[in-house]
Amino acid sequence: MVHLVDVRGAAFGRDSRRTHKAVDKQPVPHESMNRRRCLHAEDRLMSAMEGLNDCAGVVRELAE
């Protein structure tokens, strides 16, 4: 989910967060930082899952 800031509204002292559609909307800065954190966490999770799959394969081989 991306929060948007209406640049025009901020220029006129109105609430900068608008729900209506506008041409000149830009992403809120913290969204990109959260996105990077999310992608980093996803990479770590995928790496951990690959490690678990490797362990499961070794356990299967030992069980045979």
- Look at residue 50 in the predicted model and tell me its pLDDT: 92
Q: Which residue has the higher pLDDT, 57 or 16?
A: 57
Task: Tell me what the mean pLDDT of segment 39-49 comes to.
Answer: 91
> Between the CA of residue 53 and those of 29, 42, 45, 61, what are the distances in Å?
37, 16, 12, 12
- Look at residue 42 in the predicted model and tell me its pLDDT: 92
Tokens standing for 15?
């609430």
- Look at residue 45 in the predicted model and tell me its pLDDT: 93
- Look at residue 34 in the predicted model and tell me its pLDDT: 81
Tokens standing for 20?
């209506």
Q: Which residue has the higher pLDDT, 57 or 7?
A: 57
